[in-house]
Amino acid sequence: MPKMGVRGMDSTGEIYICATPIGNLEDITLRALKTLRQVDLIACEDTRRTRRLLDRFNIHTRTISYHEHNERSRVKQLVQLAKQGKRIAVVSDAGTPGIADPGFTLVRAAVAEGIKVSVLPGPSALVAALSVSGLPTDRFTFYGFLPRDRLERRRVLTELGSRPETLIVYEAPHRLRDTAHDLADLMAERTVIVARELTKHHEGVLRTTAVALPEKVAELERKGSLKGEFTLVVEGGATAVNSRASLDIRRHVQYFEDLGLDRKQAMKAVAKERGMSKRDIYKALQEISK
């Protein structure tokens, strides 16, 4: 007996951009489960990884690989299947397809062919990290993965660092150390949130400053925790100064100490943000303590 379409008996093809959990499998939505059961085909970034999700919820829909290495040929195939009336769900290994993952090319091709594309919203690492960062969420820039080449990465960070809004990037564990040093050089006093393995058993959210980040990353490495997926949320250029302008000097220094800087580093950071000398900051603290 043929499957009934997700929206009923309509026989026209459709592509569903389906978000899947970034860690905890219980974050899958009821709508996503229903769709994954009823479509004709599931296009997966990694069929083995998706199969673990499908097995967890007893879903037996046929799967096909769709990743960056076969994207060009697979897009043509999937579009053709949709034109023939097939309903296709697209999933990535984790999160929302098309966001730093395959999906964009297929959506563009489907739209060009007049194929209906529907979205099943759900988990996204960038939104999850931003929501727990404590940094402004009304405006932000998401860059995705930073360039691997050091000079190009520093050029990109310099350009992004001039922007006023919160910055979000993804980074691989083996490149996190180099990126930490670049951030320390280019955005020293900025607050940085390192979100690791969100929603998973070893989830961690580290709050520090860019200048202290290399040591924090080294500490993670010593503990054997430099593994998994990392999302970095960095304070925007304007926010870095404006959000602390109303603090008195003692609280301003304490802010940086709470983020992992020692007293001298904290005083230096405050002096830079206030346009004062480190000696003046020291004198002000002495007066306050009296």
Dump pLDDT digits (tens) for 164-205: 899 999 999 999 999 999 999 888 889 999 999 999 988 999
Beta bridge partners of 191: 209
pTM of this prediction? Answer: 0.78
| Distance in angstroms (rounded) separating the CA atoms of residues 249 and 242 | 14
* Phi, psi angles (nearest 5°) of residue 65: -75, 145
SS3 of residue 32 by DSSP: helix
Question: Which residues, other chains included, contact 156 with Cβ-Cβ below 8 Å and sequence gap of 6+?
Answer: 143, 146, 147
| Distance in angstroms (rounded) separating the CA atoms of residues 270 and 244 | 9
Express each pLDDT in 5-35 by its tens digit. 444 434 579 999 999 999 999 999 999 999 9
| Distance in angstroms (rounded) separating the CA atoms of residues 264 and 278 | 9
Q: How many CA atoms lie within 13 A of 36 on its CB side?
A: 25
To 5 degrees, how large is the angle CA 267–CA 268–CA 271?
85
Proportion of the chain above pLDDT 90, given as a percent? 67
With 90 as the cut, is the pLDDT of residue 283 above it? no
With 90 as the cut, is the pLDDT of residue 91 above it? yes
Query: Measuring CA to CA, how many Å separate 7 from each of 11, 39, 91?
Result: 10, 10, 19
Distance of CA 123 to the CA centre of its chain: 11
| Distance in angstroms (rounded) separating the CA atoms of residues 221 and 250 | 33
Instruction: Count CB-CB contacts under 10 A for residue 201.
Output: 7
* Residue-wise burial string across 126-148, b where 16 or more C-beta atoms lie within 10 A, e elsewhere: bbbbbeebebbeeebebbeebee
- The overall average pLDDT reported for the chain is 89
Q: Please give the full DSSP string across 191-211, using - where no structure is assigned.
A: EEEEEESTTSTT-EEEEEETT
* Phi, psi angles (nearest 5°) of residue 211: -65, -30
Question: 257: closest CA among 287, 238, 220, 285?
Answer: 285
Query: pLDDT confidence of 241, banded at 50, 70, 90?
Result: low
Contact 215, 115 (CB under 8 A): no
Beta 14-18 vs 166-171: how paired, if at all?
A: unpaired
pLDDT at 5: 46
Distance of CA 162 to the CA centre of its chain: 20
pLDDT at 238: 64
